[in-house]
Amino acid sequence: MKYWISKNDQKCGPYTLDQLRQNLEEGTILLTDYIYKDKEWISLSQFIEDRKGAIKAAQQIAHGATVTEELKSKKSSSDEESQPALVLGIISIVLASITAGISWIPIIGFLALPIGGIALILAIIGLIIVLVTKKRGIPVVVVGLVSSLISCLMPFIMTRALIEIVNEPEVQKAITELVEDLKGELNRPGVGEVMELKFTSLAGKEIDLADMKGKVVLIDFWATWCGPCIAELPNVLKAYEAHHDKGFEIIGISLDNAKDEAKLKSFVKNKNMSWPQAFDGKGWGNALAKKYGITSIPATFLVGKDGKIVSSNLRGPALSSAVKKELDL
């Protein structure tokens, strides 16, 4: 672009910006001279000031654009999510959840600590990645870190809680009873096995099954409150009356409670049950019943002359038939 200069009312030019600058330096053009711009004459000094302002504004605009681009670049970088960190955070959360779940299961609870440890390590690695790359992902990683820390503590918390629960007197009692019941189940006699019975009878006599070897003996677990036991009693009495003098004996083991002792004695007397009765007043907690895992009555075992069980839970006519067979009748 070229400009006209008015010098001493004479029009000179046109000049380029470089030519104007050179003439100003040489003094052939003065700042008091006029330049034609935008269809009007203005002083050269005003023109230069306007040029300076325009250049400065242009520089500021250019600088502002650069800064904006830099901010956009930084923002874009900071807004970008760290995929590895997110993956590690999510995995650590999943592992922590698994740890919390299995820590309640006694059989596999021991796996909780190593799994929780792996979750914690992954969460720490994810946090380091986020901090180094300055990318998004901290919330997920922090959740993974906290949950994995908690999951690592879960086995210890659960162990302590279980110890406190187990130490409760009622729980101890329940465990003891369960162990005794399991022992009884394992000790439940079968055909060919020998039962050991030694007790003081309801009548005050010392009874030992071993002393009855050479005889056929029916071991009868029963109670006065047991309907099926009372229903089966006529068959038991019939077999006893028919074969007692030939070597048939009965041992009754009553599961009546202590408060029913008088009732038991009266019942035995009235029904002519002359055989010995084992009674400790503990009901289902009867020592002999628990020893042999008796969980339902009537429960009977027929012992042969050699002291070994030959059959069990005989009912009706089957009892007399089995007794006859063992007595060789």
The 10s digit of each residue's pLDDT in 83-99 is 776 676 677 677 667 76
Buried b (16+ CB within 10 A) or exposed e, 244-260: eeebbbbbbbbbbbeeb
Residues 148 and 233 in one domain: no
Domain enclosing residue 27, as ranges? 3-79
What does the pLDDT read at residue 170?
A: 79
Angle of CA points 307, 312, 313, to nearest 5°: 145
Residues 195 and 297 in one domain: yes
- Of the pLDDT bands very low, low, confident and very high (cuts 50, 70, 90), residue 263 is very high
What does the pLDDT read at residue 16?
A: 77
Where is the domain boundary, 79, 106, 132? 79
Where is the domain boundary, 53, 79, 105? 79
pLDDT above 80 for 162: no
pLDDT above 80 for 7: no
**Amino acid residing at 167:** N
d(CA 299, CA 228) in angstroms, rounded, equals 10
Q: What average pLDDT does range 136-162 have in this prediction?
A: 67
Q: Determine contact, residues 138/126, Cβ cutoff 8 Å.
A: no
Q: Determine contact, residues 119/99, Cβ cutoff 8 Å.
A: yes
Highest mean predicted confidence (pLDDT) among 56-70, 100-114, 153-167, 222-236: 222-236
Residues 17 and 31 in one domain: yes
Q: What is the DSSP letter of 313?
A: S
pLDDT above 70 for 48: yes
Q: How many domains does the chain have?
A: 3
Residue 299 sits in a domain whose CATH number is 3.40.30.10
Residues 134 and 52 in one domain: no
Residues 223 and 253 in one domain: yes
Residues 200 and 115 in one domain: no
Work out whether the CA dihedral 78, 83, 84, 89 comes out positive or negative: positive
Q: Who contacts 222 (Cβ-Cβ below 8 Å, separation ≥6)?
A: 229, 252, 253, 254, 255, 297, 298
Residue 183, in any domain of the structure: no
Residues 89 and 50 in one domain: no
Work out whether the CA dihedral 167, 171, 177, 183 comes out positive or negative: negative
Residues 123 and 148 in one domain: yes
Query: 250 versus 69: which is more confidently predicted?
Result: 250
Residues 72 and 89 in one domain: no
Residue 204, in any domain of the structure: yes
Residues 22 and 113 in one domain: no
Residue 176, in any domain of the structure: no
Q: What is the pTM of this model?
A: 0.50
pLDDT above 80 for 102: no
Q: What average pLDDT does range 157-169 have in this prediction?
A: 71
Query: 151 versus 267: which is more confidently predicted?
Result: 267
What does the pLDDT read at residue 108?
A: 61
Residues 320 and 201 in one domain: yes
- Of the pLDDT bands very low, low, confident and very high (cuts 50, 70, 90), residue 38 is low
**Amino acid residing at 51:** R
Q: What average pLDDT does range 152-166 have in this prediction?
A: 68
What does the pLDDT read at residue 328?
A: 87
- Of the pLDDT bands very low, low, confident and very high (cuts 50, 70, 90), residue 128 is confident
Ranges 60-64, 163-167, 179-183, 282-286: which has the least confidence: 60-64
Ranges 2-6, 180-184, 214-218: which has the least confidence: 180-184
Where is the domain boundary, 79, 99, 126? 79
Residues 124 and 65 in one domain: no
Q: What average pLDDT does range 256-271 have in this prediction?
A: 95
Round to the nearest angstrom and report the end-to-end CA distance of the chain: 145
pLDDT above 90 for 201: yes
Residue in this structure with the two tokens 């041992």, named with its chain if needed: 251
Residue 26, in any domain of the structure: yes
- Of the pLDDT bands very low, low, confident and very high (cuts 50, 70, 90), residue 158 is low
